A and B are shown apart, each in its own frame.
Chain A
Amino acid sequence: MIGIFFVALTALCCLIIVALVAVILGDIAWFGWGSLNLQFLLTAPQQGMTEGGIFPAIFGTVFLVLLMTIAVIPLGVMTAIYLHEYAPRKSMVIRWIRLAIENLAGVPAIVFGLFGLGFFIEFVGRGIDRIFLDGQLAFGQPAIIWAALTLALLTLPTVVVATEEALRAIPVSHREVAYSLGATRLQMVRRVVLPQAVGGILTGGILAVSRGAGEVAPILFTGAAYFLPYLPNKLNDQFMELGYHIYVLATQSPDVEKTKPILYSTVFVLLVLTFALNFTAIWIRSRIRRRLRAEK
């Protein structure tokens, strides 16, 4: 009889977690939906951010994750291809690379922010300025490119893991057929493996974007701006970003009550964005997993 009590207790744990998620999302949807309209999405903040919209933040976020994707997808996909198609099975190299990826995924976001400042801005950026621009300050300061590259390193494990899962789903027989027809390894990878792995790469990319769009700590000192009167259009511009905008509105607003509707709607927009991306990724992934099971 005591057993049933404990089983009920574990069920209660589930119930509490589900209820917490429902309360958080319900609260944000309820209050966020209210002041959301097209004008809010398409105009800039006004009156010290107590009025107006969030268009520059949306634009900055999209620009940021686009740059990040360009950097992280090739790197992540090539890493996964190496691990699964090139490296000898169960070799030391593989173990070290996997360990590094696992560890990279566990590094706190704020440490990436420090790294972005210390490496990209102070070292790479300052270096470019000194060598190519005669010490003129252009890249040695917070900029969207440095924030994007910092996020690319942060999301690298996500892309590698998702791509590898897709590679694993491709039957060995497909590779053997390609080899038997005289294909080289690279031809096999390009013509046989990659086309079938598109789903996995897409999943990884989408998950990375959803993660990157929500992370604030790494961009605090690498390029995010409190407020900008213009949209970023160069790689070394600063930018506004949704997550950072939430932080600013929530903690540094001159009039908390007045900004509250705007704050809620901004949170709602960010959540809808990340969830839409996550759902797409989960949907693609479940299709890949189903294929994997069917072929086993």
Chain B
Amino acid sequence: MNRPKTMTRSRFAEGAVEWLIRASAFSAIVGLFLIFIFIGKEALPILTSPDVRKEANISKLFLPQDQAHPYSWQPVSEIPKYSILPLFVGTLKMTLVAVLFAIPLALGAALFTSEFSPGWLKEFIKPIIELLAGIPSVVLGFFALMVMASYVQELFGIVYRLNAINAGIALGLAVIPIVYTVADDALTSVPKSYREASMAMGASPWQTAWRVVFPAALPGILAACVLGFGRAIGETMIVLMASGNAAIMSWNLAKPARSLSATIAAELGEVVVGSAHYHVLFFIGISLFIFTFVLNMFAHWFVARLQKKVLGTI
């Protein structure tokens, strides 16, 4: 092709821009990779550095230490203790409350808007749940701390104003929109022919929804639950503000609790860079990262199965 000479320079510029586009496309992969490397790097001394291992190593993190207080998280005491099991228990019990509170509500709501409600009502409910998703977690934490805590305390007759139930319910508020959105997507992706066939056989709307549509959308529903669970485990500000933050080894929901994420948030600001405490906090961080990563992969796999199932049977 005969191009004028001035074109060569613009061809060169074009190549550069296209190269830039290709390069930035990998930013998400690079980002994930860097997160893993740079948090992992700070967590590694717990396994490798002799100095750090004297103060904190895997067995001190997970196994019982002395007779009187086998599991305690006291990183700033005279003899620092780094058992992360109380934090693990705290995280798990608050997550459990959140999930038990949020998943039934969100799934019920998703069933209603996708199967039973008239269109205008769905157009009203969906934006409100999106609104809930838009509330920053620090605001939910504020609400749980300043307003909700007193009511929860009275309702359940609890001694402590800030406790695992209060934090769990507030956490549930952050989980509802995620579960609802993913579940609603899954339910609406089930082909209309399923419903028509079921109705033609004489099934009622509820029978159709519960016995036909819900099972068909099950992989997507599972993905919704898994994603909600992941969000609850990693959420920080709500738990930090609403849970009371006491690291105690107890499954009692009426007591205060301290989560893994809130521990990082509360302690990393004051810690000496390079100390055992610092590395332990990064170890908690990389554990959270890996755990939520695995959950995300599960959710991804579930959604892929749903798509295959739904698209394959039309």
Contacts and interface: CB of A to CB of B under 8 A. Distances in A.
Interface residues of A, number: 83
Interface of A: 2-4, 6-7, 9-14, 16-18, 20-21, 24-25, 27-28, 74-75, 78-79, 81-83, 86-87, 96-97, 99-104, 106-115, 117-119, 122-123, 153, 156-157, 160, 184-187, 210, 213-217, 220-221, 243-244, 246-247, 250-251, 260, 263, 267, 270-271, 274-275, 278, 282
Contacts of B194: none
B199 interface: no
Nearest to B111: A10
A109 B134 contact: no
B116 interface: yes
Contact of A100 (B28, B127, B230, B231): B28
A100 B29 contact: yes
Interface of B is mostly: helix
Interface string B127-138: 111111011111
A184 B139 CA distance: 49
Contacts of A185: 18
B105 A82 contact: no
Interface stretch (B54-62, B65-73, B74-82, B205-213): B205-213
Contact of A246 (B39, B115, B138, B288): B138
B236 interface: yes
B205 A114 contact: no
A134 B44 CA distance: 29
Nearest to B23: A78
B137 A214 contact: yes
B100 to A, nearest CB: 14
A111 B35 contact: yes
B269 interface: yes
Contacts of A13: 104-109, 111-112
B21 A24 contact: no
Contact of B34 (A14, A79, A115, A274): A115
A28 B240 CA distance: 20
Contacts of A75: 24, 27
B138 A216 contact: yes
Interface string B233-252: 11111001100000000000
Nearest to B102: A17
A55 B108 CA distance: 43
Given A96-B29, A107-B292, A278-B130, A216 B137 contact: yes
A251 B145 contact: yes
B24 A78 contact: yes
B31 A153 contact: yes
A271 B282 CA distance: 32
Contact of A157 (B28, B138, B240): B28
B289 A107 contact: yes
A220 B269 contact: yes
A110 B145 contact: no
Contact of B146 (A11, A111, A263): A263
A111 B285 contact: yes
